[in-house]
A and B are shown apart, each in its own frame.
Chain A
Amino acid sequence: MRRERVPVAVQPFPAPDILDVPLRQHSGPAAVACVEVGQPVEAGDVIGRATSADGLDVHAPLAGRVAALGRVVTAMDADVPAVRIEVDLSRAEAERPAAQRLPADAPAPELEALVQAARLGGLIDFQPRAGSLAELLRAAGGRADHLIVNTLAAEPVMAADGAEVDEQPETLVRMAAWVGAAVGAKRIWLVVDPAERRRLVRLRKLVQGTPVRLMSLLNKYPQHRPVLLAATVVQRETPPGGTPLDVGVLVVQAVAMLALAEAWCHNFGIDGEGRNREEWTLPEGSDTCAGIARPVDGSARRRCAARRVVTVAGPGVVRPGQYWIPVGTRFADVLTAVGLRRAVKRVIDGGLLTGRAVGDLNAVTTQQTSTIVVLDRVADHVPVPGPCVQCGWCQEDCPVGLDPQKLLDLAERGDAAARLHPQACLECGLCSYVCPAELPLSAGVVAMKRQCGSAGEDA
C-alpha cells in the first residue's frame, strides 16, 4: 500500500446506472423522502427533506427517474432509508463539475447567508462527528476568534480532499476569508502539510494580500483532529469532552469550504465566471435571504453534496486514483469501474486506521466517503489479548495524555473514573495500535467515556 503511487489528478468517473441515495449521511436524523416512485428528477433536486433543525436535505446527484424507495447499507449505518434512482445515462454528466470562482470584488457575505447556503446545500461538516455545516457555522457566530481551515488528511492514503483543494485553491482562500469575516474571527489560519510542496507553494502565493495566514504543520497522526489543531495552531486546549468552539476556535475542513463555495454559487446566483446571474427567486419552501440575488425557481441546480472526490486505492485495483463519485454509488459499481487485478478480501470505507470495512458490496457511498481502500490480503488473525506488561506506550502515545491501560482496567472492573478525564478521548485508535499485548484499549477508553456521560465522538 505504501509503495503504490496513486495518481493525484482528479479523474471523471463513469456514471453508474443505479444510485441508492441514503437519506441519512450524518449523525442527525434521517430526511423524509419527498418524491414518488416513477417521478423524474433532475440533478440537484431535493429528494429528501429534513424534519428538524439538525437534519439535512438530500439531493439527487444525477438526473433520472425514481425507481424505488427502500433501505440501504452504508459504512456508517447498517440500515438506512434510501431513494433508488435509475440514472438517465444519456444526460448523466460524466465530466467533472466546473470549478467555482467566487467573485473577487464582492463584499464578504453575512453569516446568516452562509448558513443558508450550507442548509440549502444539505452539507455535512466533514468532521468525525458528522453534523450539519449550517449548525456549526451558526453556533460559531460571535464565539470564534480564530478560524482554522484544515487541509491535512487523516491518513496518507486519503488524498481526495487534498486533490479537491489542488483543483480550486483560489476559491478555498477566498471562502476562508469570507467565513472568517462572517464569524468575526480575528485570525484565519490555513493549515497545510509541508510534505505537499506544490500545494504549499501555491497556497503561499495565493494568501498574500488576504487576511488568511498559512501554517505549515507536520501531519503526524492524528494532527488533523480539530481538538489537536486548536492546541497546536493557536495553543488553546479544549476541555475534555468539549469542542474547540468552547475555547473560541472554529475548525473547518477545507473540503467543507469548497462545498460551501459551490452551494453559495449555485444558490445565490453566481455563475462559473464569478458574475451574478439575472434575477433569481428561491424555490418554494426555502427561506429568503435579504440583500442577496435569489436563484431562479425550479432551475437551481444544487450539485453540491451530491458528488465528492473519492480516492480509490489498494493493491488489487487496476486504476487507482481520485474520482468524482456521485453519492449513493454502490461499492460494486466502484470496483467494476476501477478494475480488479486480484481477488478482493476487504473493502474499506475510509483509511486503514480509522475506516470501516463493508460486508456487502451493495453498500453505497455517502457524503462522508472520501476514500475506498481495496485489500487483497488481510492479516486475518483474531487478536488474543495478553497480559498488560506495563510498557506505558499507550500513555506515551496518546495525543491527549490519557492513561488507557488504567482506564481499561477500570472499565473491566466496572468502576467509573471521571477524574481521569476519559471524555478527552479522540477515538483515534492509537492506543490499541501500539499495544504489544493487543489489548482492546481504545474500546475500553471509549466505554469509560460513554459511562462518564460524554455526548459522542469528538468534534
Chain B
Amino acid sequence: MSEYTGISLPEPGTLRAVPPPHGRGLPGLVPITLTFALAVLLVAGSGLVLFGWYAFRVLAISVAVSLLAESVFNAVKGRSPSWSESHALLLGVLFGCTLPATAPWRVVVVGALITIVLGEALSGGIGNYLWHPVALGRVAVQVLFAQELTPERWPVLAPGRLLTGSLDRASELTPLHTWGSHVVPAGVDAWLVTPTDDLLRNVLPNAGSDAASALTGFIRDLAPPWFSTLTGVAGGGIGEACTAVVLMAGCVLLWRGFLRGSMLMAAVAAAMAVAIVLPIRTAGPDGAIVSCSLPGFVVREGLPVGAAYVLYQLTAGGFPLVLILLASDPSSSPLTTRGHTFFGLMIGALTILLRVGTGVPAAAYWALMAANTCVPAINRFTRRRVLGT
C-alpha cells in the first residue's frame, strides 16, 4: 500500500506483458478516411454554394450509385468489409465534384458505376488500383457523353442567389459586365459563363495577328477576372470552380502528410514552365492560324499579359482539384517523396500540353491517368537505397 494515497498495487494477473509500442494515435484507416472526407466535404460544400440544388442532385445521385454498386459488388463477392474499408462514399462525392452541375442524371449514373466497378472494385480495391477511379470515371463519361459535358456556356448562381437559386433560371451576362457587377434582374438566378478551361483549349481570336493582342483580347474581353477563378464564380465543375476552397482542402491534406509539398510545387512549376513556353494557336482576322511562341513573356504596354495568361492556365479547369484531391490519393500515387515530385512534374506538364496542344476537354484528368500509368515504374526507380548498400 502506498502510504500517501491508499492506492494499492494491481492484483496478480491484471497486468499484461504486451509488446511495444505502448500508446498510439487513432486506430485503423480512420485517419485517412476522415482527413480525405474533410477535404472532400469542403470542396463539395463550395460547389453547393455556387451551384445550389443542381449540385446537390448530382452529388446525391453519385453517392447513392456508388454505395449501391459497392454493396452489390461485395455481396456478389461474399465479403462484408468494415466501414473504414469502404471507399465508395468518398469516391462518389469526389466524382460528383468533377462534373458540371447541369450534368444529366444518366451521365452521373454511368460515371459513378464506372468509377466504382471498373475503377475500384474490379481493380482490386484500396491499395491496388492503378488509375484513380474518379479520373477513370471522368474521362470515360467525357468520351461517352461528350455533347452533354461540353456545352457552350455553363451556369453559375448569381450574387444574392447563392445556395438557394436554381440553375435553370439562367441568363447571359452582357459583355462588359462581370459576375458581381451586373444587377441581377428578377426571375434570374444564375449567370451563364464560359469556363476558363474551354477558353484556353480553343483557338484564341487574334485581332492584331500577334501574341500581345491575342492575349490582351483574351484577358480583357473573353476571360472573367482572374480573381473569379479563385472564388469560383468563373464556373466549372462542382468542386473544380472554387480554387480557394480547393487550396484550403490542400492545406488539410498537407497538414496530415498525404499531399506532399514537393509534388505540389513540382506540378505548379512544371505547369508554369510549359505554359510559358508552349506556343498557342490563335486565329487572325482573316481566319489564318497564327502560332504565338513563348506566350509567357509577352508584354503589352508595360503590362505582363503573358504572366497573367499563365496564371489563368494554373487555375483553369480541373487542374487544382486533380492536383490536390486526386493526385494525393495514396493508392494511385508513388510511394516516396522523390517519386511524388516526379509525379507532380508529369501532371503539371501534361495538363498544359494536352489542354493547349490537343484541345481535349478535361485535360487534367487525362494527365493524371497518364501519370498514374507511370507510377509502378516511378516506384521502381525512386526506391530508397538501403543504408550500407
Which residues in A have some Cβ–Cβ distance to B below 8 Å? 1, 227, 231, 237-240, 242, 316, 318, 332, 335-336, 339-348, 350, 352-361, 373, 375, 378-379, 381, 383-384, 386-393, 395-396, 398-403, 420-421, 424, 429, 432-433, 436-438
Contact = CB atoms under 8 A, between A and B. Distances in A.
Contact of B386 (A318, A389, A401): A401
14 contacts: A238-B387, A332-B9, A339-B2, A346-B16, A356-B19, A357-B17, A357-B18, A358-B15, A359-B16, A375-B23, A389-B127, A390-B127, A391-B32, A393-B257
Contacts of A361: 9-10, 12, 15
A433 B385 CA distance: 21
A126 to B, nearest CB: 19
A227 B339 CA distance: 26
A392 B389 contact: no
Given A346-B15, A401-B387, A402-B386, 13 more contacts: A237-B387, A316-B7, A341-B4, A357-B17, A357-B22, A384-B27, A386-B82, A387-B29, A387-B126, A390-B127, A421-B388, A429-B21, A436-B31
Contacts of B301: none
A181 B332 CA distance: 55
Interface in B252-311: 257-258
Given A350-B20, A354-B20, A357-B16, A384 B28 contact: yes
B334 A237 contact: no
Contact of A227 (B257, B336, B385, B387): B387
B17 A340 contact: no
A389 to B, nearest CB: 5
A340 B126 contact: no
B384 interface: yes
Interface in B174-204: none
B15 A387 contact: no
A249 to B, nearest CB: 12
B252 to A, nearest CB: 15
Nearest to A246: B388
A336 B15 contact: no
B21 A438 contact: no
A318 B28 contact: no
A341 B384 CA distance: 47
Nearest to A332: B9
B20 A389 contact: no
Interface residues of B, number: 47
A336 B28 contact: no
B20 to A, nearest CB: 5
A438 B9 contact: no
Given A379-B23, A429-B20, A401 B384 contact: yes
B23 to A, nearest CB: 5
B3 interface: yes
Contacts of A346: 15-16, 18, 22
Nearest to B334: A392
Contacts of B126: 387, 389
Nearest to B6: A340
Interface in B70-89: 82, 84-85
A355 B85 contact: no
Nearest to A1: B23
Nearest to B11: A361
A355 B20 contact: yes
A346 B12 CA distance: 12
B258 to A, nearest CB: 7
Contacts of B383: 395, 403
Contacts of A360: 12, 15, 17
B337 interface: yes
Contact of A421 (B10, B23, B85, B389): B389
Nearest to B258: A391
B4 A390 contact: no
Pairs A-B, 9 closest by C-beta atoms:
A392-B335, A359-B17, A391-B330, A401-B384, A400-B387, A340-B7, A421-B386, A237-B388, A239-B388
A318 B32 contact: no
A173 B173 CA distance: 81
B20 A353 contact: yes
A396 B27 CA distance: 20
B129 to A, nearest CB: 10
A41 B69 CA distance: 77
B386 A387 contact: no
A432 B126 CA distance: 19
Nearest to B19: A356
A379 B385 contact: no
Contact of B24 (A332, A342, A433): A433
B344 to A, nearest CB: 14
B125 interface: yes
B263 to A, nearest CB: 12
Contacts of A387: 29, 85, 125-127
Contact of B330 (A1, A379, A389, A400): A389
A379 B24 contact: yes
Nearest to A238: B388
A293 to B, nearest CB: 44
A366 B281 CA distance: 78
B5 interface: yes
B331 interface: yes
B335 A242 contact: no
B21 A433 contact: yes
Given A381-B27, A436-B32, A395 B336 contact: yes
Nearest to A402: B386
Contacts of A336: 1-2, 9
A284 B92 CA distance: 81
A386 B32 CA distance: 12
Contacts of A401: 384-387
Nearest to A339: B2
Contacts of A1: 23
B128 to A, nearest CB: 8
A437 B28 contact: yes
Contacts of A390: 127, 330-331, 335
A26 B88 CA distance: 52
Contact of B3 (A339, A347, A388, A429): A339
B15 A240 contact: no
A241 to B, nearest CB: 9
Interface in B112-129: 125-127
A61 to B, nearest CB: 22
A348 to B, nearest CB: 6
Contacts of A393: 257
A403 B386 CA distance: 9
Max chain B C-beta neighbours (<10 A), residue from A348, A387, A395: A387
Contact of A383 (B27, B84, B335): B27
Counting chain B CB atoms within 10 Å of each CB, the highest count among A339, A340, A343 belongs to A340
A406 to B, nearest CB: 9
Contacts of B28: 384, 386, 436-438
Contacts of A344: 9-10, 15
